[in-house]
Amino acid sequence: MQFKKIAFFIISVILLITGCDSKNDENKETIEKKQTKFIISSQITPTITLEKIDNGIDFKEFKGKVVLLNFFATWCPPCRAEIPHLNNLQKKYKESFEVIALNMGEQTGGQTPKEKIDEFIHEHSISYNVSNEETNFKISDMIGNIKVIPTMFLYDTKGKLVQKYVGIVPEEMMETDIKRALGK
């Protein structure tokens, strides 16, 4: 029994530290870096508006909700491993919590084909918002140029950053932070 706990701890630490390296190292134009408002879509919420504000992001369609921005890729094993946790949290806190997953494309740096994303969502029974737009890279730049995936940002009901996660994170840790962001 003790061996299982130690093995689980070691594997969790390795996954947390390693994550997946995103290969998107393109130089962006100055105008794009100054952009602070983005409109994206997903299969669940057709229009999602994100606008950078002091100390955070204004999520127009999710006012009063805690929001988790999840930067991921379909080819990333830790990203796939966190899907059941995100599904559970989305279901448990459906009235006050939203996950917005932003696909960071293929390992080659290109955008993931729509058919591949649709298949990925269906295969993993994803119950939260997934965006597969070129704009995702610009949002990454606005927030802080994501270099490792998965990377997640948890925002409270007013859009203020509560927690940043790099690598896979235990569901219990995210749930504790969600409760804190909700003021519970």
CATH number of the structural domain spanning residue 81: 3.40.30.10
pLDDT at 162: 95
What is the model's pLDDT at position 28? Answer: 39
The domain of 27 spans 2-181
The pTM of this model reads: 0.80
Q: What is the pLDDT of residues 4-62, one digit of tens each?
A: 555 555 555 555 455 555 444 444 343 344 568 888 888 788 889 999 988 889 999 99
pLDDT tens-digit readout, 142-165: 888 788 999 999 999 999 999 999
Higher-confidence residue of 35 and 172: namely 172
Maximum C-alpha span of the chain: 56
Can you state the angle between helices 171-181 and 83-92, rounded to 10 degrees?
Answer: 30
Closest by CA to 133, choosing from 68, 55, 64, 45, is: 45
Query: Per-residue pLDDT averaged across 1-6, rounded?
Result: 58
* Domain count across the chain: 1
In this predicted structure, what is the pLDDT of residue 23? 45
How many other C-beta atoms can be found within 10 angstroms of the C-beta atom of residue 117?
19
C-alpha closest to that of 132 among 117, 115, 149: 117
Q: Is the pLDDT of residue 127 over 60?
A: yes
Q: What is the pLDDT of residue 25?
A: 41
| DSSP string computed for 8-40 | HHHHHHHHHHH-EE----PPPPHHHHH--EEEE
What pLDDT is stored for residue 21 in this prediction? 52
Q: What is the mean pLDDT of residues 57-68?
A: 94
pLDDT of residue 75: 95
Q: Which amino acid makes up residue 16? A: L
DSSP single-letter state for residue 157:
T
